Amino acid sequence: MYRYPIIILIILVLYGCKDYSSSSKRIVIAKAGDTYLYLDQIPRIVPPGTNAADSSSIVQNYLNNWAKRELLFQKAEENLVPGLKEEIEQQLKESRINLTIYQYQQQMMLERMDTNVTDQELEEYYSSNQESLILGTNIVKALFIRVPVETPDIDKIRLLYRSNEQADILQLETICYQFADKFDDFDEGWIPLDRISIELPEEISNEESFLRRTNFYEANDSTYIYLIAIRDYRLRSSLAPFEYVRDDIKRIIWSNRRLEFLQSLENGIYNDAIKEDRFTIINN
């Protein structure tokens, strides 16, 4: 039952570490209709350590699937109506054209396009496009702590998390690294308030009102105590802080530059063809 797959398996093992694709004499493994399957076309399909029976089954399954697909393809080619064959050829041509153009564009961008975006460009874009940089969500700079209710010195944590003194913050970090289930300090970067509020036992019903009246917030359930220190905030519908949209601006500038480069590349090739009489309208 396993005779032929085992023979093939032995061949695969013997040639497994060899660059057999460079061999002048290819080894035939199977034949389906008028198509041959060669050793160098078979991927490494048997995991190391697989026993002989399972290895044989894997090889046999691969050969069966290859034969079924190849035979079905040959039957389809023989019986497909001419109109559909022409449609396939046209689709293949379009796919080849699109893929070739895409790869050439990528090559030209790597070779010629300036991908560096300076801080000055970022700041100029921010100043000139503020109407498109409006916040769609409330954002904060904040400290979020979640500690088990049985945490020792919880009053110490309550005192320290309200402080802006560097020494107190370092002491708070030391305590929280020992006892806190979660300790996130977003004091240096803006984040959506949702990122914190989703951690709370109860939903914040009115975020705008909450931010306007809250500097420090505490909640609890049967398992945890939740502490939030709001260092700064911006409300939705207001201008986004530069730091919050900096990466977005960089992507926009790069995308615009990419479009301009590709248009310039296309127009340059087109204009060169006109100058060199390689584009002519024969019958208008």
Could you list the beta-strand ranges (E) of 33-74: 35-38
Q: pLDDT tens-digit profile of 222-247? A: 999 999 999 999 999 999 999 999 99
| Angle at alpha carbon of residue 23, lines to 19 and 26, rounded to 5° | 110
Judge whether residue 160 has pLDDT over 90.
Answer: yes
pLDDT over 50 (residue 20): no
Helix (H) or strand (E) holding 34: none
Compute the average pLDDT of residues 74-82: 94
pLDDT at 8: 58
Q: pLDDT tier at 42 (50, 70, 90 boundaries)?
A: confident
Give, in order, the Cα–Cα distances in Å from 222 to each of 45, 100, 155, 209: 53, 62, 18, 27
Q: What one-character DSSP code corresponds to residue 98?
A: H
- 86 forms bridges with which residues in the sheet? none
Please state, in angstroms and as integers, the Cα–Cα distance from residue 28 to each residue in 37, 75, 163, 212, 235, following that order. 6, 22, 76, 76, 69
Q: What is the pLDDT of residues 93-103, one digit of tens each?
A: 999 999 999 99
Short-list 228, 244, 247, CA closest to 236: 244
Q: What is the pTM of this model?
A: 0.73
Where do we find the tokens 């502490």?
227
How confident is the model at residue 211, as a pLDDT?
Answer: 96
Domains and CATH numbers, the chain: 3-79 (no CATH), 135-234 (3.10.50)
Taking only the tens place, the pLDDT of each residue in 206-221 is: 999 999 999 999 999 9
Highest mean pLDDT among 47-61, 97-111, 150-164, 175-189: 97-111
Q: What is the mean pLDDT of residues 18-27?
A: 60
pLDDT at 72 over 70: yes
